[in-house]
Each structure stands twice: as structure tokens, then as C-alpha cells.
């Protein structure tokens, strides 16, 4: 559902990155019609926003990995009650959410609105597909997406959190979820959770091929085990012609090897058209994002768990995530800080297949973020909350707060 086209309008006196001086933007039918020198947009057009030379014009942020269905965002503070292993966390989540007083929409709805107010308009959310939650969770998430379709673009991943092989009934539920409209086939730790890497990956790719979908696999399996799995994912991606449609999320294993050892694997990922999603965690080994990018691998990022039973952290702010990425790798040069920003914008757009309509150029959707900064580098380190968010040519949030009408269709 695309919102009805807004009347033509102009954004005045803003600084697009890589653009000499100030610019005006013409917006027509929810898209960027033209980038003009500042002061040359027709004065009779309504002014959508005026940067007064002080605001940068940026593309909306891309949240490439979040779990909206898990969040407790709308609920009172709840101390983390999970045991230490992934299986503890899976069982703990099942126990906590079983009788939780707030519905998925009451928890995730406010978080979606918060994310929008921070500047993200494109999302990929994983949705648990496990018999413990049944089809209800999937239907609730689809309904929530529908409710916010005017405000955000959201891809949903059918995510077999508890295992695709080991949790009985999951394979059938995955098919059901994909049939209902979840776009992407998820996977998780083929060895660590499902204890059978080849069978797990074959099942994931089989679903992707049968339903004509992309793939996004959670891969926490580390070291040589993770590397083995990444190589098999590359094999299968090439065998099935899925270049550009496969994301490996987390991929901690890529942080375990010296650069020289990783080059061949990075080159393989680049050739296979596989994107790497990393939150750049500071308490784990993170994939070396600069090296991966330098070898041609597309990299995107996400908030992952946001205040849920898995983690109290996460804030849904992808500009803060760019700052965390830069800190994680000690990036301090303007070009490096711009790389961090590229990961949370164009890198995400590529991983999610947003295509030519994403960006700041004539023809692109007018999905934009305006904020006070002197450069992209400055935006990343300062993370100002004074943000104006524009969706298809309408202002939907100002100063970190959603405009009341925007929450409604």
C-alpha cells in the first residue's frame, strides 16, 4: 500500500552529500523530480522543509536486521531473565511471551514508530517461525506490517529460531509462512542449532527455490565451523543462481581469521553476490567490514534485538549504529565514517534489493532524512536527534518524534 501521492512540493537549501553547495529538491508524486541549485525551485511550490543551509539531505536509513516480533519496547522495564546459552534464550522467550500482557502490535508498533522517527524507512524484520508460537505470530506481524505500510517498507524473513530440522513441525510452518507472504527464507546456525549443516542448508535453499525467494541466514557458528558453512552457502548460492539475493547475518566466523586467510573467502562471497549483515558487536569477534568491502562484498547492518528477552540493548537508531560500527573498528577518517554511513544506507538498500528507487537522484522515492551536520562524518559522530524524516514526499517525523497523523493510514 503506497500512500496517495502528495501535491508537488520543494525542499529548499539543503546539502546533499557529494554535491557542490546547497540544493533545492523538487518532489512530485512522492519521488524526487529534480535536484536544482538552491534558490531556483519555483517559489510558488509549497515548502516541505527548508534546511536554511544548515541541514544535510540524506537518504532514509535502512534497518537490515531487526526482530520486531520479539521486542518488549512498549512494555514496562523487564530485567533480562535468560540463561547463558542460545537454547536457554529460546526457551526463556517462549516462557515470557506465552502470557505476555501486551500483544505483538502493542510491543512492536511503538518500536516501528520510534525507528521511523530516527530516520529508518526500510526494514527487514525476522519473524519467528516455530511451532511454540504457531501461525498467530506470523499473522500478527503481517497485520502490523499492513497497518504501517503507508509509513515503511518492510520485508519479513521466515526465521526458524528454534531450528528448522530439530523443532518438529517447523518445516511445514515455514512453507505456510512463505505462502502467507513472508518474502525471505531464514535459517539459523546449521550446526549450532540444527546439528546438521548440509541438511539444514539444503532445506533452506530448497524452500527458496520452490517459492522463488531470497535467503537470510543467522550464522553465529564460529571459527572453522562457520567458515565451512559459509563456503557451503556460497556453493549453493551459485548452484541455484541466487546471486544478490542471499544475506549471511552476523557471520562471526569471519572475525576469526587473519586477513590473508580471509581474502579467498571474501572474494568468493563477492563473486557469489552474498551480502554480510553485521551489527559490529563489541563483545564478539566481528567480521572485518572494511576488508570485506574492499574485496567487493556488500555489507549492511541492523539493530538486531531491541529491548527483548534476548537483550536489553538496541535502540532502533541506525545512525547510532553507524557510530557504533565506526567505533568498533577505530574508523576516524572522514572516508571511513562515510563508509559506516554507507553500510546503514546504500549497503542495506543493496542487500534488501531496493533497486533504483532508493537514493538521492531524480526518479528515486522521496524517502529522505534531514539533519543538522556539516558532513556525513559529522552526522555519524554527533548523531543529532534533530531529524526530519520524509516518506514519499511527506514529512512524517520531526525532532525524533513521529507526527501524529503519520501513525495513521
Is 398 one of the binding residues for a copy of itself (CB under 8 A)? Answer: no
Q: Interface residues for a copy of itself in 264-303 (CB under 8 A)?
A: 281-284
The answer to whether 165 contacts a copy of itself (rule: CB under 8 A) is no
> Could you tell me the smallest distance in angstroms from the CB atom of residue 329 to a copy of itself?
6
CA distances 123 to 26, 90, 156, 238, 332, Å, are: 26, 23, 8, 26, 28
Question: DSSP label at 255?
Answer: G
Closest contact distance (angstroms) between CB of 376 and a copy of itself is 10
Q: Which of 251, 274, 337, 343 binds a copy of itself (CB under 8 A)?
A: 337
Query: Footprint of a copy of itself on residues 57-96 (CB under 8 A)?
Result: 76-77, 79-80, 82
Q: Return the number of the residue (94 or 382) whose C-beta is nearest a copy of itself.
A: 382
350 part of the interface to a copy of itself, by CB under 8 A: no
Q: Name 61's Cβ contacts closer than 8 Å, sequence gap at least 6.
A: 118, 119, 120, 121, 122, 318, 319, 344, 345, 348, 369
375 binds a copy of itself per the rule CB under 8 A: yes
C-alpha distance from residue 401 to each of 40, 367, 390, 406 (Å): 31, 17, 13, 10
Task: Return d(Cα 13, Cα 41) in angstroms, integer.
Answer: 10
**H or E segment and range at residue 378:** helix 376-382
- Provide, rounded to whole angstroms, the least separation between the CB of residue 259 and a copy of itself: 16
Q: Does 315 bind a copy of itself (CB under 8 A)?
A: yes
> Measured from the CB atom, is 149 or 327 closer to a copy of itself?
327
Among 18, 101, 212, 330, binds a copy of itself (CB under 8 A): 330
* CA–CA separation, 357 and 361 (whole Å): 9
Q: What are phi and psi of 47, to 5 degrees?
A: -90, 115
Q: Using CB under 8 A, which residues numbered 198 to 257 contact a copy of itself? A: none
327, 357, 364, 398: residue in contact with a copy of itself (rule CB under 8 A): 327
C-alpha 343/C-alpha 345 separation (Å) is 6
CB 204 within 8 A of CB 215: yes
The residue assigned the cell 545512525 is 319
Positions in the binding site for a copy of itself (CB under 8 A): 76-77, 79-80, 82, 281-284, 307, 311-313, 315, 323-324, 326-330, 332-334, 337, 373-375, 377-378, 381-382, 385
Amino acid at each position: 500500500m503506497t500512500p496517495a501521492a502528495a501535491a508537488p512540493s520543494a525542499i529548499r537549501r539543503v546539502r546533499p552529500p557529494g554535491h557542490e553547495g546547497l540544493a533545492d529538491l523538487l518532489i512530485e508524486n512522492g519521488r524526487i523530480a529534480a535536484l536544482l541549485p538552491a534558490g531556483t525551485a519555483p517559489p510558488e511550490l509549497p515548502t516541505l522543509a527548508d534546511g536554511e543551509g544548515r541541514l544535510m539531505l540524506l537518504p532514509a536509513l535502512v534497518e537490515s536486521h531487526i526482530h520486531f516480533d520479539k521486542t518488549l519496547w512498549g512494555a514496562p522495564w523487564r530485567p533480562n531473565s535468560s540463561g547463558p546459552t542460545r537454547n536457554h534464550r529460546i526457551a526463556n522467550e517462549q516462557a515470557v511471551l506465552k502470557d505476555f500482557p501486551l500483544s505483538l502490535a502493542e510491543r512492536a508498533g511503538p518500536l516501528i514508530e520510534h525507528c521511523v522517527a530516527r530516520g529508518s524507512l526500510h526494514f527487514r524484520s525476522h519473524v519467528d517461525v516455530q511451532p511454540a508460537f504457531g501461525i498467530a505470530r506470523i499473522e500478527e506481524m503481517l497485520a502490523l506490517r499492513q497497518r504501517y505500510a503507508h509509513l515503511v517498507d518492510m520485508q519479513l524473513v521466515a526465521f526458524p529460531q528454534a531450528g528448522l530440522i530439530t523443532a518438529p513441525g517447523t518445516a511445514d510452518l515455514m512453507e505456510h509462512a512463505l505462502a502467507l507472504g513472508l518474502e525471505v527464507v531464514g535459517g539459523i546456525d546449521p550446526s549450532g542449532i540444527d546439528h546438521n549443516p548440509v541438511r539444514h542448508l539444503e532445506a533452506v535453499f530448497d524452500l527458496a527455490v520452490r517459492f522463488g525467494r531470497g535467503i537470510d541466514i543467522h550464522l553465529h557458528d564460529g571459527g572453522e565451523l562457520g567458515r565451512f558453512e559459509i563456503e557451503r552457502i556460497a556453493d549453493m548460492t551459485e548452484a541455484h543462481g541466487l546471486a544478490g539475493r542471499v544475506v549471511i547475518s552476523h557471520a562471526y566466523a569471519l572475525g576469526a581469521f587473519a586477513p590473508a586467510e580471509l581474502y579467498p573467502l571474501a572474494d568468493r562471497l563477492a563473486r557469489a553476490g552474498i551480502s554480510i549483515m553485521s551489527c559490529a558487536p563489541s563483545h564478539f569477534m566481528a567480521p572485518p567490514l572494511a576488508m570485506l568491502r574492499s574485496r567487493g562484498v556488500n555489507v549492511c547492518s541492523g539493530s538486531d534485538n531491541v529491548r527483548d528477552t534476548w537483550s536489553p540493548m538496541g535502540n532502533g537508531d541506525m545512525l547510532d549504529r553507524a557510530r557504533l560500527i565506526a567505533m568498533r573498528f577505530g574508523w576516524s577518517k572522514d572516508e571511513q565514517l562515510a563508509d559506516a554511513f554507507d553500510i546503514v544506507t546504500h549497503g542495506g538498500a543493496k542487500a534488501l534489493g531496493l533497486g533504483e528507487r532508493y537514493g538521492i537522484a531524480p526518479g528515486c522515492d522521496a524517502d529522505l532524512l534531514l539533519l543538522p551536520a556539516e558532513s556525513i562524518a559529522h552526522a555519524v559522530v554527533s548523531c543529532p536527534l534533530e531529524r526530519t524524516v520524509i516518506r514519499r514526499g511527506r514529512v512524517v517525523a520531526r525532532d525524533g518524534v513521529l507526527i501524529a497523523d503519520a501513525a495513521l493510514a
